[in-house]
Amino acid sequence: MDQAVIVSARAVGKRYRRDGTAFDALQDVSFSIAPGTFGVLVGRSGSGKTTLLNIIGGLDRPTSGALHAAGRDLAGLSDGELSRYRNEKVGFVFQAFNLANEDSALENVLTPYLFARGRHRDAVERGRASLASVGLSDLADQKAGTLSAGQRQRVAIARAIVRDPVLLLADEPTGNLDAETGSEVIGLLKHLNHEQHMTVIVATHDPELTEAAGFILTLRDGRVAADEAEP
């Protein structure tokens, strides 16, 4: 893959079967994203945003086409290699936070190390540094379930970046937040993009996130919108 491109999709398709009927969640999707970009995937619910984000992140595989990310041909990776790609190259942030409420903020942030290869003696130190970077150093030992929604999303972001991923993928990260808290989370994502040069790709309905984007891909019914399609 061209070093000037961190994510490249060519004619990507994803087909599911529901009750014996084929359903195309994505069809012929092509685009490229440069390193350090703040990218946004937009479209109505069911347009394929989450499916595409999951494929970029290695949580799912395309049915057709090719997708390269962080120097890897994702379609050609074994299950073990794809797992390592997710753990080493990608950080995920979800709308529903996906935290263990009975565990502390720090324990949640350290979750990626449970699946990492080798020994990581500096994991706790890095976990605390990650929480400090999102403004939660004083809440490291507090149970996640006692935190506010905005604080939980910050913990989720700290978990996503604790292993210094090259790709930060966020699926509707402000969807469960009020406007003010959502703006704070957007500011944090922009900071990670601008100050740490992290490539951020967000699936969203939030117009404030769209305004921050250097790359916007609009999906309609699983396809790139006609006015954005590449020749």
pLDDT tens per residue across span 91-149: 999 989 999 999 999 999 999 988 776 566 789 999 999 999 999 999 999 999 999 99
The pLDDT of residue 205: 86
The pLDDT of residue 125: 94
Contact 169, 92 (CB under 8 A): yes
Cα angle for residues 23, 7, 150 (degrees, 5° grid): 80
| pLDDT tens digits along 85-101 | 998 999 999 989 999 99
The token pair at 112 is 């990626």
| pLDDT tens digits along 7-27 | 999 999 999 988 888 889 999
Which of 20, 56, 36, 73 lies closest to 195, judged by CA?
36
| pLDDT tens digits along 204-225 | 988 888 888 999 999 999 999 8
Q: How far apart are CA 25 and CA 189, in angstroms?
A: 27
What is the average per-residue pLDDT within 188-210?
Answer: 91
pTM of the complete model beyond 0.85:
yes
The token pair at 190 is 């922009």
Q: What is the separation, in whole angstroms, between the first and last Cα of the chain?
A: 19
Contact 185, 202 (CB under 8 A): no
- Enumerate the domain spans of the chain: 7-222
What is the average per-residue pLDDT within 158-184?
Answer: 94
Residue 228: C-alpha distances to residues 165, 176, 210, 223 (Å): 28, 29, 15, 10
The pLDDT of residue 211: 86
The pLDDT of residue 117: 67
**What angle do helix axes 179-196 and 149-161 make, rounded to 10 degrees?**
20
> What integer best gives the mean pLDDT of the chain?
91
Confidence of residue 188 (pLDDT cuts 50, 70, 90): very high
Is the pLDDT at 50 greater than 90, yes or no?
yes
Residue 213: C-alpha distances to residues 50, 154, 188, 201, 230 (Å): 18, 20, 14, 9, 19
SS3 readout for the chain: CCCCCCEEEEEEEEEEEECCEEEEEEEEEEEEECCCCEEEEECCCCCCHHHHHHHHCCCCCCCEEEEEECCEEHHHCCHHHHHHHHHHHEEEEECCCCCCCCCEHHHHHCHHHHHCCCCCCCHHHHHHHHHHHCCCHHHCCCEHHHCCHHHHHHHHHHHHHCCCCCEEEEECCCCCCCHHHHHHHHHHHHHHHHHHCCEEEEECCCHHHHHCCCEEEEEECCEECCCCCCC
The pLDDT of residue 119: 62
Is the pLDDT at 230 greater than 60, yes or no?
no
Q: How far apart are CA 113 and CA 209, in angstroms?
A: 30
User: CATH assignment of 7-222?
Assistant: 3.40.50.300
Q: How far apart are CA 42 and CA 214, in angstroms?
A: 13
